[in-house]
A and B are shown apart, each in its own frame.
Chain A
């Protein structure tokens, strides 16, 4: 990497280019060192760590072990559980969030009153610290004095208080709802920006042809939004798959590992049990999954666009 950065620029046309390149490098310098040391190098090192038996501690010897860690992971059913949970979490949050956000964006794009207020309110979850979000939802879902349980009991939907975050059956769905709540603002605002970029005349033409609102949505809105949709759902997917703080504070992976997202699993491996190599191997698997997923998702999308 450093080699490409410092290589002399080929002289093209007049004398302007090499000078420009030198200036560009000069402007990059203050960022270059910290980024190389604290981002590029750790990334490469992190990937490599997955192939070693590195452990926490100051003077511990580290050996190259090839694919040992991955072999161990494959035999570990906790690892498989964690991945299954991670995939369920990622797909449900991303899809439900998208549907909910699209609905809200469409509403905010009409000429309703109080649209400005609604837009501001809709964005608030985005600005809140994830830890606070988690605490807030723990209050809401509290089995004895949370409002959600009270409401359910008043509506006679349940006769006993439900410990949403503590029961095996409800923990994951509850955490998913919180995930949707947190991610909606960003998705909504992006989709709204996309909606506002659609040429009005398309709708006018369709209305003249007598197209219903539904068919306008299906034949104009969705195709016009395609790029935005692909971009934001890909990002949401990555963010959700890699998310940590929210669930860490909500359930810490419990009860009984029912909400143990891959990141939480890896965090425990690294900083609770000190198995750095194992945790890094886990991270490597996550990267491979994300890249494979993005590859298929984007390839199919791009192909259908052509």
Chain B
């Protein structure tokens, strides 16, 4: 089909409008992070900083709470990602391969966990974790994240498992390998792309998470990066926008790096989960 030049031009204009709407805020954040305090105070802000100034970044990194928040976020995200993979792999295998009664139950749970407002869950969670001395601890947050990233991880992974040809497993079992052995040595290597994609998703969602952390972590020593950032904003009046913008850029980098790898898989992963699940 050929498109008329007039319409084509309109399409380009529309795409540019979308990209400005979606991309400009990010550009502005990055440029703000590179502006000197004097330039910030100017009444006529410009998109490009007059001269690039990295002092906001060093200011941000000199802030004690921020570096600690970075460390806490990193720890929590890595641990919960590892846990999710360990737990999700066998379950998604069972979901994709067996027609057991656990399957409708699991799918029902995945759905319910999406519909319920987290406020209903967070209060009992708080009441369960407190007597176990797990509120205000990193392990407490890690297991909560593990459970709450699980639905999406299962959704994604079972599509990937279903794509592994059964014949390979049958061949292995003919050779005398047990189920666990088959999973570890046949399925897992073939699932590598799926596992990597799931890991990145889990990492990003743990890294970005705010609500559970807000409720479960009160100790300033343990606060994650989003909590530290939100606190900065809350201290209205003496907000220093430059360092805040720099810290925000730093907080976005890990997600964006993973996202860059994921980008191609995003569509296919979601679709395979949707179709085969």
Contacts and interface: CB of A to CB of B under 8 A. Distances in A.
A108 B234 CA distance: 39
Contact of A43 (B26, B112, B271): B112
Contacts of B28: 136, 139-140, 147
Nearest to A285: B117
A158 interface: no
Interface residues of A, number: 98
Contacts of A207: 1
Interface stretch (B51-59, B60-68, B101-109, B191-199): B101-109
B25 A136 contact: yes
A128 interface: yes
Given A42-B128, A140-B25, A192-B267, A118 B15 contact: yes
B179 A23 contact: yes
A35 B109 contact: yes
Interface stretch (A65-73, A76-84, A218-226, A264-272): A264-272
A24 B92 CA distance: 10
Interface residues of B, number: 90
A270 B119 contact: yes
Interface stretch (A168-176, A238-246, A297-305): A238-246
A37 B127 CA distance: 12
Nearest to B39: A145
| Residue from A123, A124, A249 whose CB has the most chain B CB atoms within 10 Å | A124
A127 B204 contact: yes
B185 interface: no
Interface string A56-67: 001000000000
Contact of B15 (A107, A266, A279): A107
B82 interface: no
B5 to A, nearest CB: 13
Given A40-B109, A129-B255, A145-B43, A266 B119 contact: yes
Contact of B255 (A127, A139, A270): A127
Contact of A31 (B15, B88, B214): B88
Contacts of B184: none
Nearest to B14: A107
Contacts of A42: 120-122, 124-125, 128
A1 B258 CA distance: 38
Contacts of B14: 103, 107
B266 A31 contact: no
Contacts of B266: 123, 189
A5 B259 CA distance: 37
Contacts of A130: 208, 210, 226
Contacts of A270: 119, 122-123
B45 interface: yes
B79 interface: no
B153 to A, nearest CB: 10
A51 interface: no
Nearest to A141: B25
B117 A242 contact: yes
A11 interface: no
A135 B234 CA distance: 10
Given A45-B127, A110-B3, A248-B230, 5 more contacts: A21-B100, A110-B11, A132-B29, A189-B266, A245-B226
In the A-B complex, the 9 residue pairs with the smallest Cβ-Cβ separation, listed nearest first, are A46-B120, A245-B210, A283-B120, A42-B124, A127-B259, A45-B124, A129-B208, A27-B90, A27-B94
Interface of A: 1, 4-5, 9, 20-21, 23-25, 27-28, 30-31, 34-35, 37-43, 45-47, 49-50, 54, 58, 100, 103-104, 107, 110, 112, 114, 118, 120-132, 134-140, 142, 144-147, 150, 181, 184-185, 189-190, 192-193, 203, 207, 235, 238, 241-242, 244-245, 248-249, 252, 262-263, 266-267, 270-271, 276, 279-280, 282-284, 286-287, 290-291, 294
